[in-house]
Amino acid sequence: MKGAALSGGRIDAVVIGASAGGIEALSVLLPALQPNMVVAFFVVLHVPRERPSLLVEIFQRRCALPVREPEDKEPVAPGTVYFSPPDYHMLVEKERRIALSADEPVHFSRPSIDVLFESAADAYAERLLGVILTGANQDGASGLEAIHRAGGVTVVQEPESALMPFMTLSALQRAPADHVLSLERIADLLRTLAGPVPASEAQSAPQ
């Protein structure tokens, strides 16, 4: 089922978690996104909390989709890339709004990848794709497991291609990954899965 449905229309959202080396990895993934993409992207990147986040500024220049830090209870807009604001957890509610929290750090991290992934798994169930990228922290492993349990698609960057493989290895130990890929192949997968429903499929849909 999962393999058969690897085309546009399969998912509504993509969650991405990265830590050490994450800016470089996202610099490969986010510029690959295309303006016609119809899913929402949520990104948690661990950054030092005392520094104001320049991530939106950095990535808006390289990404065809709008990139923003959400406000609390903002409705999720398809085709938007949301970066968690520094020093807040970012969660998704079932009513498809973004919620923030200042609860204690998880795995020494706020924002935490687990917090995003677990809430998104609840909100989107099987219509979610989760990606774990480079990092030296085990944040994200239990979140990816939650996505797997909810029937979503799990993707992990090939550990040997990650600047810091620990996070990808922790995720692979914890949850079965549907795809273990290089950054370039993850970008290909996102282009396929996050794009519009192919015309052939839309036409052959049951009346």
Partner 1 sequence: MLSADSDIELQLLIEAIYRKYHYDFRCYAPASLKRRVTAAMARLNCHSYSQLQHRVLHEPAAFPELLDHLTVPVSEMFRDPSYFHSLRAAVIPVLRTYPSLKVWVAGCGTGEEVYSLAILLREEGLLGRTLIYATDINPQTLQKAATGVYDVQRIPSFTENHRRSGARSSLSEYYTAAYGRAVFDKSLRKHIVFSDHSLATDSVFAEVQLVSCRNVLIYFNRDLQDRAIGLFRDALCRKGFLGIGSKESLRFSAHTDAFSDLIAADRIYQRRDPP
Q: Which of the residues are catalytic?
A: 19, 46, 139
End-to-end CA distance of the chain: 21
Return the number of the residue (41 or 117) whose C-beta is nearest partner 1. Answer: 117
Smallest distance from the beta carbon of 89 to partner 1, in angstroms?
Answer: 7
Smallest distance from the beta carbon of 127 to partner 1, in angstroms?
Answer: 14
Smallest distance from the beta carbon of 176 to partner 1, in angstroms?
Answer: 18
Residues at the contact surface with partner 1, assessed by CB under 8 A: 69-74, 85, 88-89, 91-94, 99-104, 115, 118-119, 122-123, 125, 150
| Residue given tokens 């119809």 in the structure block | 38
Return the number of the residue (29 or 100) whose C-beta is nearest partner 1. Answer: 100
Return the number of the residue (126 or 158) whose C-beta is nearest partner 1. Answer: 126
Return the number of the residue (119 or 137) whose C-beta is nearest partner 1. Answer: 119
- How many CB atoms are closer than 10 A to CB 124? 26
Distance CA 103, CA 175 (A): 25
- How many CB atoms are closer than 10 A to CB 207? 2
Distance CA 77, CA 97 (A): 9
- 205: Cβ contacts below 8 Å, ≥ 6 apart: none
Smallest distance from the beta carbon of 73 to partner 1, in angstroms?
Answer: 5
Distance CA 201, CA 131 (A): 26
